[in-house]
Amino acid sequence: MKVLVSWLREFVDVPGTPAEIAATMSVRGFAVESIDAAGADDAVLDFEVTANRPDCMSVLGMAREVATAFGLPLRVPAVAPPGDRLALAPLSPVARAEVDVVIEAPELCPRYTAAVADVAVGPSPEWMQARLRAAGVRPISNVVDITNYVLLELGHPMHAFDLSTLAGAEIRVRPAHAGETLKTLDGQTRTLTPEMLVIADAQRACAVAGVMGGADSEVHDGTVTIALESACFDPLSVRRTSRRLGLKTEASMRFERGADPEAAATAMARACALLAATGTGTARGAIIDRHPAPAAPRSLRLRRERLAALIGLAIPDADVTRLLGALGFGLRPTADGWDVAVPTRRVDVLREVDLVEEVARHHGFDRVPVSFPALTTPPAPIDPRISRARQLRSVLTGAGFFETMTFGFVSATAAAPFAAADDIVPIANPLSETFAVLRPSVLPGLLAAVAHNRRREQRDVRLFEVGNAFTRAAGERRRVACAWTGASSVAHWSGTGGDVDFFDIKAIVERICQTVRVDISVAPHHEAWLAPGRAGAVLAGTTRLGVLGQLAPALADQYGLPAHDAVYVAELDLDAAETCARAGDVRMEPLPRFPSVARDLSLLVDDTLPVAALRQTALAVAPATLQSVREFDRYQGKGVPDGKVSVSIRLTFRSPERTLTDAEVQAATDAVLAALVSTHRAVQR
């Protein structure tokens, strides 16, 4: 709300510079977005008016706040001396004048005032044009400028019709007919619906009530008689109409926040006075005022104790009375506080707490003391998901991964590989194709980030994200995803490991699962977006937690990732992992008291045989003293027949009770070998 300081001072003798006024009003709830000089000794303050304060979308409204903030009296137009620019014409409601007003929908239009005036259309006085321009309004003609002037000064929207265009000299406030059209002032033809309220003459709609006038009834240079409108419309109805028409105006912004029925009449009186004062015209006859059911002013109870409890400070009664009085509230003391009459313009003050805010606001938040809420019950525990996610972050950053934050929505194309089309959750009103659906996986965003970095001279990229993914079938699930491309270790002058491979990303998956305390195995898996033969399923027992593997080259290509550098990815469902996690504290295992004995076996087996099968067979047949089976070499090539692979495994034996003898270790090793030979057709090398 742009307010010219000199205009403001017509209502309140506020001292100080514009900057000083701005500083004070900022801490009273009206932040000032800008201060612009206007001429030599004037300025425009642009106040931010919150959505609950339509009464302050005017110079008078802001002046009332300024007067309260500075403890100064407010000069309202009604009490100004005659002859002053602020003087009002007398308002005497009569039933019938030059135009008839019929409200067909009183629930959507509680009050409608109208006046007929003979006018000579021309430019408005320079002082008026200057004020309009300062407030950001373009001067048009004296008649239109007066309605805009009143809008800015008192905050109440008005409209002027060319009376000669109103058929039957009649104003009907009624719902639009289905399919009825109206060319609005902006030149567009709008199709109306019965939910929209219109101002009509005997035949057709002439204005969208509270939103915009019609082009055909617009005041023009040749207009000689006008019908002035100053009415009140239902906020919800105006808001819906404005939204449906995609038409936001100074009028609709005020009506949808709530207009003051009293101000409708005041504004009409003010406009008629300005018509006369500026020589624009003369009101003919009396003003018509249709106000079928005036609402009783709201009365609220304000309890002294409640006020002190909510603010944390006892404010003296005298201050409460002074501050609320200055804002126009009527106070009557009661045993425990006050009965407060709320001015009709204060559509935001509906209950006691709203009065508390008014007192606190003008008493000053800076004078509120500092205290802390008392803990009266034991503090509740922190969600373990929060601490577990933190552990994941330290483990993964320790493993060289950067955490990313990517959007929860992706394009339909990006989502497609990761879920069936009918499993993807679309966004009904997306901003663009890029953000059309909820991500069914964290990977699309992560891969886009990999590609972003690759395009910026980063060959080695390790990224992860902890975030939610969404599908229709499973709903919202928490996930962790990783992507790794480039070298498997940092380049060094002494020589460098190769590029990342399956077993690097598998180690990361295992580390994640250790962190969330889930025992897993990895099984061969097929996934269309992973390279065939280089994909695995992560299993906790039989529950699949996620997948890992090399990104299918075709998909990598879609992200613009080069074919010659493999990208390895993994994604796990943290909600699923949580249900499979070991609970409770770790129980310590006693440290071994006796030495272990290791035996190595080198075997030739079919190259399609998973090593896990060898391990399982060994563990199944060996005595309990076999602690672990671990492969330490795998070789194909010279000396190994085609279709075969040489695998070396180490068996580690230990007893918790005694030192094992060579003989028993040998017997156990022989048993394992025999089982591997018979079960897997293994041949010892």
Place of tokens 């195995």: 521
353 binds another protein (CB under 8 A): yes
Q: Say which residues have a Cβ less than 8 Å from residue 572's Cβ, sequence separation at least 6.
A: 479, 480, 481, 509, 512, 513, 538, 545, 546
381 binds another protein (CB under 8 A): yes
Residue pair 76/60 in contact by the 8 Å Cβ criterion: yes
Binding mask 518-557 for another protein (x = CB under 8 A): ----------------------------------------
- Segment lying near another protein (by CB under 8 A), choices 320-328, 450-458, 628-636, 677-685: 450-458
What order do you get walking across the sheet with 330-334 strand by strand?
299-303, 337-341, 330-334
377 binds another protein (CB under 8 A): yes
Distance CA 403, CA 462 (A): 9
Strands, E assignment, 196-255: 197-200, 205-208, 212-213, 225-232
Residue from 366, 310, 356, 369 nearest 329 by CA: 356
Distance CA 223, CA 165 (A): 10
Site for another protein in 253-272 (CB under 8 A): 256-257
Closer residue to another protein, CB minimum distance, 299 or 496:
496
- The values of phi and psi at residue 432, to 5°, are -165, 170
What count of other Cβ atoms lies within 10 Å of the Cβ of residue 77? 19
CB of 366 to another protein, least distance (A): 7
CB of 147 to another protein, least distance (A): 23
421 binds another protein (CB under 8 A): no
Among 406, 485, 550, 655, binds another protein (CB under 8 A): 406
Helix (H, G, I), strand (E, B) or coil at 92: coil
CB of 432 to another protein, least distance (A): 8
416 binds another protein (CB under 8 A): no
Among 64, 172, 239, 345, binds another protein (CB under 8 A): 239
CB of 408 to another protein, least distance (A): 6
CB of 153 to another protein, least distance (A): 23
- Segment lying near another protein (by CB under 8 A), choices 133-141, 147-155, 319-327, 354-362: 354-362
396 binds another protein (CB under 8 A): yes
The dihedral over CA atoms of 99, 104, 107, 111, expressed in degrees to the nearest 10, equals 10
- Segment lying near another protein (by CB under 8 A), choices 38-46, 139-147, 175-183, 447-455: 447-455
Is 424 exposed, middle or buried (CB count within 10 Å of its CB: 0-12, 13-18, 19+)?
A: buried
**What is the CA angle 641-645-650, rounded to 5?**
135
375 binds another protein (CB under 8 A): yes
Site for another protein in 463-482 (CB under 8 A): 463-464, 467-468, 470, 472, 474-478
Site for another protein in 298-327 (CB under 8 A): 309-313
CB of 69 to another protein, least distance (A): 11
429 binds another protein (CB under 8 A): yes
407 binds another protein (CB under 8 A): yes
Place of tokens 């407060």: 340
Mutual angle of helices 317-326 and 59-70, in 10-degree steps: 160
Residue spans of alpha helices (H) in 85-141: 126-134
Place of tokens 């194309």: 413
Binding mask 48-87 for another protein (x = CB under 8 A): --xxxx----------------------------------
Strands, E assignment, 564-677: 567-573, 597-606, 626-635, 644-653
511 binds another protein (CB under 8 A): no
Closer residue to another protein, CB minimum distance, 32 or 132:
32
Residue from 291, 318, 293 nearest 304 by CA: 318
Residue pair 536/549 in contact by the 8 Å Cβ criterion: yes
Closer residue to another protein, CB minimum distance, 511 or 615:
511
398 binds another protein (CB under 8 A): yes
Closer residue to another protein, CB minimum distance, 394 or 661:
394
Closer residue to another protein, CB minimum distance, 9 or 322:
322
Among 40, 293, 380, 591, binds another protein (CB under 8 A): 380
- Segment lying near another protein (by CB under 8 A), choices 127-135, 331-339, 452-460, 670-678: 452-460
- The values of phi and psi at residue 398, to 5°, are -65, -25
438 binds another protein (CB under 8 A): yes
449 binds another protein (CB under 8 A): yes
- Segment lying near another protein (by CB under 8 A), choices 96-104, 265-273, 369-377, 539-547: 369-377
Sign of CA dihedral 600, 606, 609, 614: negative
Helix (H, G, I), strand (E, B) or coil at 186: coil
- Segment lying near another protein (by CB under 8 A), choices 7-15, 359-367, 616-624, 677-685: 359-367
Among 276, 277, 416, 425, binds another protein (CB under 8 A): 425
Query: How many chain residues are in contact with another protein, going by CB under 8 A?
Result: 99
CB of 161 to another protein, least distance (A): 28
Q: How far apart are the first and last CA of the chain?
A: 90
Distance CA 660, CA 657 (A): 9
Closer residue to another protein, CB minimum distance, 296 or 405:
405
Among 40, 335, 428, 663, binds another protein (CB under 8 A): 428
The DSSP line for 271-337 is HHHHHHHTTSEEEEEEEEEE-SSPPPPPEEEEEHHHHHHHHTSPPPHHHHHHHHHHTT-EEEEETTE
361 binds another protein (CB under 8 A): yes
Residue pair 173/103 in contact by the 8 Å Cβ criterion: yes
Distance CA 672, CA 622 (A): 6
Site for another protein in 147-206 (CB under 8 A): none
CB of 425 to another protein, least distance (A): 5
250 binds another protein (CB under 8 A): no
Closer residue to another protein, CB minimum distance, 386 or 591:
386
CB of 392 to another protein, least distance (A): 10
Site for another protein in 551-580 (CB under 8 A): 575, 578
- The values of phi and psi at residue 277, to 5°, are -65, -30
